[in-house]
Amino acid sequence: MEDCVFCKIIKGEIPSEKVYEDDEIIAFKDIHPAAPIHILVIPKKHIATLLEVSEEDSYLIGRIYQVINKLAKDMGIDQSGFRVIVNCGRDAGQEVMHIHFHMLAGRKMGPKIVG
Ligand code: AMP
Ligand code: ZN
């Protein structure tokens, strides 16, 4: 997708602070962190929103959770805990139309639902 900022990050056209990469998935630091640790985990496949996730993406989405699991352990936040958020559409405030999993940690999250 030509105008997608996250596809540009995947292609290396926009810089990012990558913390993980494999052939299907990358993870990088959010440019405006909402917590001491704020990572975005995304598939390299351009899927605009959660509503575009199809059955053929099931394995890929499962792998994203495996990457989150690995990152949590690698970053040492598996014991203290972390939050994973996917915003979908206008009312959730989704700004980037390339599905992404926010991984937030390093502080007490407070309310059960952000916002
Ligand atoms: P959302 O509101 O769920 O669409 O979240 C989009 C997130 O992407 C926001 O937290 C932004 O700070 C983050 N973001 C936007 N552009 C970049 C970028 N170039 N590098 C890293 N994070 C970005
Ligand atoms: Zn994209």
Among 7, 31, 38, 102, the mutation site with the greatest number of ligand 1 atoms within 8 A of its Cβ is: 31
Spell out the alpha helix ranges (H) of the chain: 5-11, 58-74
Burial of residue 84 (number of CB atoms within 10 Å: 0-12, 13-18, 19+): middle
Cα 42 to ligand 2 centroid, rounded to whole Å = 9
What tokens were used for 88? 């979908």
Ligand 1 binding pocket (C-beta < 6 A) is: 5, 14, 16, 30-32, 40, 87, 93-96
CATH topology for 5-105 is HIT family, subunit A (3.30.428)
Report the C-alpha gap between 17 and 28 in whole angstroms.
Answer: 5
Cα 32 to ligand 1 centroid, rounded to whole Å = 7
Q: Per-residue confidence of the chain (115 residues) as pLDDT tens digits? A: 779 999 999 999 999 999 999 999 999 999 999 999 999 999 999 999 999 999 999 999 999 999 999 999 999 999 999 999 999 999 999 999 999 999 999 999 888 776 5
| pTM (whole model) above 0.85 | yes
Catalytic residue numbers? Answer: 100
Q: Where are the domains of the chain?
A: 5-105
What tokens were used for 22? 């494999």
What tokens were used for 31? 């440019």
